[in-house]
Chains A and B, each alone.
Chain A
Amino acid sequence: MTFEQLPDEALFEACRQGELRAFEHLLQRHRQPLYNFVCWQIGSSVVADGLLHEVFLRVLEEVRSKKQRASFKTLLYVIARDLCLRESSQANNLGDRHQKGPTRRIQNAIEELAIEEREVFLLREYLDLSFAQIAEIVGCDRKTVKERMRNALERLRQEVV
């Protein structure tokens, strides 16, 4: 079985055995969705570059720490969410990745969402995580997550439709 077919958790274990290729596959698999999540969450691609780097460095620390983890995706987005919260509390974002045209309106609408609603929306819409997984990452119950998702959709609907 090649690395492409292995699930994230198996690749993570392979990383613990010192397999560099396993880490490369994890990186290739998750870098783009993670980058999109961080970009949307922070609103600045310059900051997102640094955060993406930092998230994977933290993953490497986790590889070395030998702690048992249930799901790699949960671990990844817990780290990413923590860093995003830290970053957004430290500074106001610059919003440097705006485009022109009709997408601009959607971008503004997403950025104007409350941060709790935005993170749930991004995790569900862009990363296709289940509500249960999102609840685990965010640290609240599934019902609250659904509530936030519905609110987010409601607000976006007012802007888009």
Chain B
Amino acid sequence: MDCPRVTELLVDYLYHEMDPSLIEPFEAHIASCPQCTEQLKAFQATRAAVQSLPELEPPDQITQGLMAKAAQALRPKKTIWDHLGRSFRFVVMHPAMTATVTLLLVVGISFYAYRQSSPPQSAPRPTSFPEVVQQPTGSETQSAEELSANQEATLRLQEEDSTASIAARKNVKDVRQAPARAARVRAHQVEHKVPLAQPATEPPRPTAGLAPKSAVRSSLETDRDRFQAAPKPRLAARRRVRSIRRPRRPVAPNKYVEGEKSADVKRYLALGNAAAAKQLCHQALEYYDRVLELRPQLEKSLDHNIRRCIGVIARHGEAPLLKAQKQFPRLSGLVGRELARLRKPLRKRTKAKAKPHQRADEKVAPSDKSVGY
């Protein structure tokens, strides 16, 4: 084994990754070559020096934060079977309610089916000879002329009867005559063995101003459809109220600036990435605005954090502050103060410091001082 080969294998030997068959010739060469021995010893000394460096310990809060995140992330997702199992449990736990609901469902469905299957009331009535008169056996001998003459006579009488009935409806006095005429017609029919016939032009039945049943039903259905299609303002209002009462995200003040986001902001600022820090602070302001909307009583406790965020945003000049002021109405006071501080010319500020006998209103208030990272 020569020196370049040993140099190549030196690292393998140092970290015990050498092929066992090469160890013996390698060690033999090292023992004979002072240069290679020196190199190996120097590397071993370097390793020893590096290993003497102290180990760094990560902060505990990182572990805690990660465990909280893991608890959220590793929560098993609910499958459809879980939901089904849950509803089945409900059925078992509430037998009375289940039975009632089932009964109501069955009754409702059967009633609906019955309503659907019943024939419509407005079917047209048969107008021609619904009843067949039993002719006597000798009637076959009756001549056709005689029959037609009888029918003509009957029709004439019926016409008279119908005009009489119309007149009777118009004039109450003639009402008594109509039954008498009908009786006469019937007697004539019986006498001449004419099949009883409904008048061909039967006047419509008096319905006292009501629409036919089918028309009523269809109008009811259209009304129902219109009612179902219309928005239900009360329900919508109730939903809105519920959403106000229970915000989707739990309210946790100080989350952004005091928690891990605060570390992020600090980190970004340390790295010189002020834009990212500004973005985080803007998000934080958005959050505080929401918090104050729901819990106005937290205003005092959040004041410091809000001012810190505004301080970070103020590094980018007036434009982002103006945007924040517009976007977050509840924080506009604090943002406005910061804006006023920015707008105040530098000379005036230094003057205010220089002159001790100045009017109180020109002094920079201590609360105006922005709190930054």
Contacts and interface: CB of A to CB of B under 8 A. Distances in A.
* A-B interaction: yes
A43 B211 CA distance: 92
Interface in A1-53: 15, 18-20, 23-24, 27-28, 31-32, 35-36, 39, 44-50, 52-53
B174 to A, nearest CB: 94
Interface string A100-111: 000100110010
Given A46-B270, A63-B73, A146 B263 contact: no
B74 A18 contact: yes
Contact of A161 (B42, B59, B73, B260): B42
Interface stretch (B11-19, B118-126, B223-231, B250-258): B11-19
Given A20-B74, A131-B15, A91 B42 contact: no
A60 interface: yes
B47 A125 contact: yes
Contacts of A97: 56
Interface stretch (B64-72, B89-97, B336-344, B347-355): B64-72
A57 B66 contact: yes
A20 B54 CA distance: 31
Contact of A150 (B10, B50, B270): B10
B267 to A, nearest CB: 5
B57 interface: yes
A160 B44 CA distance: 11
A119 to B, nearest CB: 15
Nearest to B264: A50
Nearest to A99: B54
Contacts of A69: none
Given A46-B266, A52-B62, A36 B55 contact: yes
Nearest to B267: A50
A19 B69 CA distance: 13
A160 B46 contact: yes
Contact of A31 (B45, B47, B63): B63
Given A31-B63, A49-B58, A64-B73, A146 B53 contact: no
A90 interface: yes
A39 B42 contact: no
Contacts of B14: 153
B271 interface: yes
Given A53-B65, A146-B12, A131 B17 contact: yes
Nearest to A93: B271
Contact of B46 (A24, A27, A153): A153
A107 B59 CA distance: 21
B203 interface: no
A47 B59 contact: no
A73 interface: no
A160 B51 contact: no
Interface in A94-127: 94, 97, 99, 103, 106-107, 110, 124-125
Contact of B67 (A24, A107, A124): A24
Nearest to A110: B50
Contacts of B71: 20
A72 interface: no
A48 B63 CA distance: 13
B76 interface: yes
A31 B65 CA distance: 13
B219 interface: no
A144 interface: no
A149 interface: yes
B62 A60 contact: no
Contacts of B42: 157, 161
24 contacts: A15-B74, A20-B67, A20-B70, A24-B67, A31-B62, A32-B55, A32-B57, A36-B56, A39-B56, A46-B266, A47-B271, A50-B264, A52-B62, A56-B66, A57-B69, A60-B69, A90-B273, A124-B15, A125-B51, A130-B17, A131-B11, A153-B14, A160-B50, A161-B42
Given A45-B56, A46-B267, A50-B264, 18 more contacts: A28-B63, A32-B56, A32-B57, A36-B55, A47-B270, A49-B62, A49-B263, A63-B74, A90-B273, A99-B54, A103-B53, A103-B54, A106-B50, A107-B53, A125-B51, A130-B17, A131-B11, A146-B12
Interface of B: 7-8, 10-12, 14-15, 17, 42-43, 45-47, 49-59, 62-63, 65-67, 69-71, 73-76, 260, 263-264, 266-267, 270-273
Interface of A: 15, 18-20, 23-24, 27-28, 31-32, 35-36, 39, 44-50, 52-53, 56-57, 60, 63-64, 87, 90-91, 94, 97, 99, 103, 106-107, 110, 124-125, 130-131, 146, 149-150, 153, 156-157, 160-161
